[in-house]
Amino acid sequence: MSIQIRQLHSCFAGEVSGVTLSQPLDSEAVAAIEAGMDRFGILVFRDQPLTDEQQMAFSRHFGELENARGGNIPVKPEDRRIQVGMNDVSNLDKDGKPLARDSRQRLFNIGNMLWHSDSSFRAIPAKYSLLSARIVNPTGGNTEFADMRAAYDALDSDLQAEIEDLVCEHSLMHSRGALGFPEFTDEERALFKPVLQRLVRVHPVTGRKSLYLSSHAGGILGMPTPEARILLRDLNEHATQPAFVHVHRWRLNDLIMWDNRQTMHRVRRYDDSQPRDVRRTTVAGTAMTVDQAA
């Protein structure tokens, strides 16, 4: 079995063939996938039916799974639909029915429709995310990815120099606040306390620089807020031009894996009266971006 990767977009994104993710993988296959991630930023695997256990086992080849705590509004254990270790990104309640229109869980998850990088609101943000399609929604629900290395490379050199050492504040309260999400509880405020992230990241393996943007970013240290937010908006607009964006149209049993250190993503609107069951595992990062050598 030999792994092959076909490039899907002029800058990034690959479709992988020649591997069955539900089966144990040898170290050669894991190394080929990791090298593909470094190069392409996102990898698409088609026709990969997975159980939650198989998805977690595959994900663990690339590092430890991130502890999901603090990544969502707290859900009581008895209200969870899927086990701890899996992030529920679906629109479903524990009985498998679409969440009520005014459900806080649903309104919070709508935040995934803003461009973001997973866990940029954590002091040590995520390395990879892996999303598996268990039920595809009949209308909409494409996921879009932006190549933040290509976006960085295309900035003019004055702007690159201006932003080189900037540090942003990221919080779930900012991304959700931008959508008018209703009041946070004291518990949520404590959980969602802002963290610091460099605006320009260097990939630990390839050394390539990328813009580290996310809807969670709401300020820049040492800069008045309106000035920071307009700069972040401009950079987001630049980074999400079609030239840097790959659109994924889901099929049942697709698995997509993305590198949060060099890409952003968002899901588009879909028919919320119908189920969309997508389940995410997240591979934890290992370092704070503010500790990155300049």
Q: Which residues bind Mn ion (CB under 5 A)?
A: 118
> Using CB under 6 A, which of 198, 265, 281, 285 touches ligand OGA?
265
Rounded Cα distance, 127 and 63, in Å: 8
278 binds ligand OGA (CB under 6 A): yes
Q: Which of residues 55, 91, 120, 143 is near ligand OGA by CB under 6 A?
A: 143
Taking CB positions, which residue lies at the least distance from ligand OGA?
267
Residues 121-140, interacting with ligand OGA (CB under 6 A) = 129, 131
Residue 187 per-residue DSSP state: H
- Closest approach of Cβ 246 to ligand OGA, in Å? 13
- Taking CB within 5 to 8 Å according to partner kind, which of Mn ion, ligand OGA, none is near residue 32? none
Q: How far is the CB of 267 from ligand OGA (least distance, A)?
A: 3
The CB density around residue 253, as the number of other CB atoms within 10 Å, is 16
Closest CB 176 distance from ligand OGA, rounded Å: 14
The reply on whether position 215 binds ligand OGA by CB under 6 A is: no
280 binds, among Mn ion, ligand OGA, none (CB under 5 to 8 A by kind): ligand OGA
Which member of 72, 112, 175, 289 binds ligand OGA (CB under 6 A)? Answer: 112
Structure tokens at 245: 């964006």
| Residue-level length of the chain | 294
Does the CA dihedral 56-130-138-103 come out positive or negative? positive
Locate the DSSP E strands across the chain. 4-7, 14-17, 42-45, 87-88, 128-135, 143-147, 167-170, 195-198, 200-202, 209-211, 217-220, 245-248, 255-259, 263-267, 277-283
d(CA 11, CA 151): 10
Does residue 89 belong to the site contacting ligand OGA (CB under 6 A)?
Answer: yes
